Amino acid sequence: YWASITYMQAHTESSPMRAIIIGGGIGGLFTAIALRQAEGVFDQIEVFEQSSVPTEAGAGLNIAPNGARLCHWLGVDLDGGDPKGPSGVPDGGRASILDVTRMINDDLSVSRKPFHYNAPEKRALGGGFHHMHRQDLLMCLHERVRELAPEYPVASPISVHMGKRLVGIEQHDAGVTASFADGTTTTGDILIGADGIHSKVLELTWPEAPERRFTGSLIFRGLIPRADVETLRKADGRPLDHNPLDELCMDMYKRNDDYAMSYWVRGGELLNIGFTWYDPESTEFTDDWGDW
């Protein structure tokens, strides 16, 4: 989902380009921040997002150490936010740096594998295995983009425009022009589609592209506040086996075609859970839902 399509137009080395990014989610903002590293190539980077306020559906995700170091290099703060602060506020990220993976076996024995990426010398370079709520990652990207806005004396500034729903794309000798539902247009040298699984860029460019198909894999996901985890018990009232409160951990329980996973996000304030299985004959999702 990071970026669906890229348009390139010929340009000269002496003429910096203007980049247009359609989609202001995780993929779009990260792309904008990354393009600035091509020093002298872009003099403007513009992001256009159809929603009026920043939103990000979903629950938790993992940022492996190499990805976390890349964020650190780009100036994205994955660790500086307040885990108990309000949701949807641009700030430093609220990652959980977990200590261990625990595999729960069928006989309820446990195999433990520590995360060796969390050594102090690796953390100093922005490493560590980060686990985050998707909304928190989006907000720390917004925080970094705000630092790179045109009102500050920075090279290749980034502008984010909200409430811009794409309705048309036209390629021409001067570049590429995007049209929006509010009647405005914008022209640039390169257009990048980072507008998700229901990409309008993809639809406008390749209307004959094959429809999405059901893979047979199902997942139900959710988040449990820490205070609610503390109240959980077995059906008979006994304490849970291998309670996730025992340590900052990622737990997995696997069988042949299904598994359950849980791990902490937002600094240990929320437990992300997922139940996944393979069922190619499932009628659970017979329609192409508009969202998940």
pTM for the full predicted model = 0.87
Q: For 16-31, write each residue's pLDDT tens digit.
A: 899 999 999 999 999 9
Secondary structure of residue 280 in the 3-state scheme: coil
pLDDT for res 260: 93
Is the model's pLDDT at 269 over the cut of 70?
yes
- 35: enclosing H helix or E strand: helix 26-35
Q: What is the CA radius of gyration of the chain?
A: 22
pLDDT for res 51: 93
Is the model's pLDDT at 224 over the cut of 90?
yes
Q: Which burial class, exposed, middle or buried, applies to 195 when counting CB atoms under 10 A from its CB (0-12, 13-18, 19+)?
A: buried
Residue 283 pLDDT grade (very low, low, confident, very high; cuts 50, 70, 90): low
Question: Would you say 3 and 27 are in contact if contact means Cβ atoms under 8 Å apart?
Answer: yes
Residue 107 pLDDT grade (very low, low, confident, very high; cuts 50, 70, 90): confident
Give dist(CA 277, CA 126) in Å, integer: 34
> Which comes out higher in pLDDT, residue 73 or 215?
73
Is the model's pLDDT at 7 over the cut of 50?
no
Bin 175: left if φ > 0, else alpha if -120 < ψ < 50, else beta: left
- 142: enclosing H helix or E strand: helix 134-147
pLDDT for res 1: 31
